[in-house]
Amino acid sequence: MMSTVNGVGNPSSKDDSSPEKKVSEFNEELSLAGANVHTKVGMIFFLTKRYPLGFLGLFLVFVFIFVALFAPYLTTHDPLTTNPSISLAAPSMGHPMGADFMGRDLFSRVIFGARTSLAVAFGATILGVFFGVLIGLASGYLGGWVDLVLQRLIDILQSLPTLILAMAMAAALGPSLFNTIIAIAIPKFPSIARVIRSSTLSLREMPFIEAARAMGMSDLRIVFRHIFPNTLAPLIVLATAGLGSAILVEASLSFLGLGVPEPHPSWGRMLSESASEYVRTAPWLVLFPGAAITVAVFGANLLGDALRDIFDPRQRTAN
C-alpha cells in the first residue's frame, strides 16, 4: 500500500502517458536525432529544421497577431472613412490595395479585418475548449447516466454540419461580435468533448488514479490535478487546428450577413459586398480579402499539423 500511496505524489512513475514521461521520451528522441536538447535555442532550431512547414505556419500566425495588435500603427487611413472621389480606385502608392465602392481604403480595412477575424477565432476556440473540456471530463469520469445524457446531446450537435449549426445559432442570436463567437463555439466543443472523454476513460483506470481515490482525494481534485494535465497534448492540437476553421466559419457567416456587423471591418463581408458586382471591374476588392483569409487559414492549419506530429509519437516515428 505504501508504494501505491507514494505513486500519487509522482504520477509519472505510475503512468507512462504523463507529461513528464512524454517530455523525457521526446528529449531522448531529439538526442538520438542529433539535436541539442540542452538549451531551448537548440531545441527550437532543431524543431525548425525538422518541421519547416510548422515553423512557416507559426510565423504566419504570429504575423497576423502582430498585424491585429498594431493595426492603428500600420495604416495611414481610417478604415471607416468614405471618400467618393476615389471610389473603386485601383491599387496605387497612396492606396496599396485600392479603394472599395464607398471610397474606403482597402488596405486599412484588410488590416483591421485581421482584428475581427482573430478576435472571433480565438474567442470561439477558447470558449469551445472551455465547454468541451468540462463536458468531456464530466462525461468520461462520472460515467453512468451523466455520460449517457451528455453523449446524446453531443450526438445531436454533431449530426448537423458545422456551418449549418453556426448559421442557425447566428440567426437566432443576432449579428454582433459576441454572438458570432458563441455561434462558432457551439459547433466546436462537441469534437473536443469527445477527445477529452476518450482520454479520461482510459486515465481513470490508471493505478495512480486508484491510489488517489484510496487516499480519499475528492473527485474534483482527481479530475483537475491528475486527469486534466494528461489530456493537454491532444487538446493543444485540437485548439490550434480549430483556429483555421473558426476563421473560415466567421468569414462565411459575414459573407452571408450573419457575422460581425458594421462598423467592424470583416474579410467575409468585404467579399460579400464586392463579389457579385465588382469582381470583373475591380477584382482587387475580392483578391486581397480572399488572400488574407486563405493565408490565415493556411498558417493555422500548418501549425496544427506540426503540433500533431510533435505530440504524436507514431507521427514522429513515421517522419
Q: Mind listing the pLDDT tens digit for each residue in 99-112? A: 988 889 999 999 99
What element of type H or E holds 135? helix 106-142
More confident site: 251 or 5: 251
Q: Is residue 50 part of a domain?
A: yes
Q: SS3 for 205?
A: coil
Does any domain span residue 209? yes
Helical segments of 162-283, H only = 162-173, 177-203, 207-214, 219-222, 232-255, 267-278
- Classified as helix, coil or strand, 166 is helix
Q: What is the per-residue pLDDT across 262-304, written as a single tens digit (0 to 9) for each?
A: 778 889 888 888 777 888 888 889 999 999 999 999 999 998 8
* DSSP helix, strand, coil percent of the chain (3-state; round to 5): 75, 0, 25
The partner residues of 105 in beta bridges, in order of sequence, read 99
How far is 194 from 210, CA to CA, in rounded Å? 23
Is there a domain that residue 99 lies in?
A: no
pLDDT (0 to 100) of residue 38:
61
* Dihedral of alpha carbons 210, 239, 234, 24, sign: negative
Residue with cell 474534483: 220
Q: Indicate which CATH number applies to the domain containing 286.
A: 1.10.3720.10
Assess if residue 103 is contained within a domain. Answer: no
d(CA 192, CA 242): 10
Q: Phi-psi region for residue 174, left (φ > 0), alpha (ψ -120 to 50) or beta? A: left
| For residues 168-196, average pLDDT | 91
Determine the pLDDT at residue 66: 95
Whether 184 maps to a domain, the answer reads yes
Quote the domain boundaries for residue 238. Answer: 2-65+114-318
- Cα separation, 237 vs 30, in Å, equals 20
Q: For residue range 33-86, what is the model confidence (pLDDT) as tens digits?
A: 555 556 666 667 777 778 888 899 999 999 999 999 999 999 888 998 888 888
- Indicate whether 201 belongs to any domain: yes
Q: Residue 139 in contact with residue 197, Cβ under 8 Å? A: yes
The torsion angle over the Cα atoms of residues 272, 276, 281 and 287, rounded to 10 degrees, is 40
**Count of domains for the chain:** 1
78 part of a folded domain: no
**SS3 readout for 45-79:** HHHHHHCHHHHHHHHHHHHHHHHHHCHHHHCCCCC
Question: Is there a domain that residue 76 lies in?
Answer: no
Q: What is the reported pTM?
A: 0.80
**H-run or E-run covering 296:** helix 284-311
Q: How many residues does the chain have?
A: 319
Residues 6+ apart with CB under 8 A from 131: 185, 189, 193
Looking at per-residue pLDDT, the higher value among 91 and 30 belongs to 91
Each residue's pLDDT tens digit, 114-156: 999 999 999 999 999 999 999 999 999 988 899 999 999 999 9
Q: Any bridge partners for residue 99, and if so which?
A: 105
d(CA 143, CA 137): 10
Mean per-residue pLDDT of the chain = 83
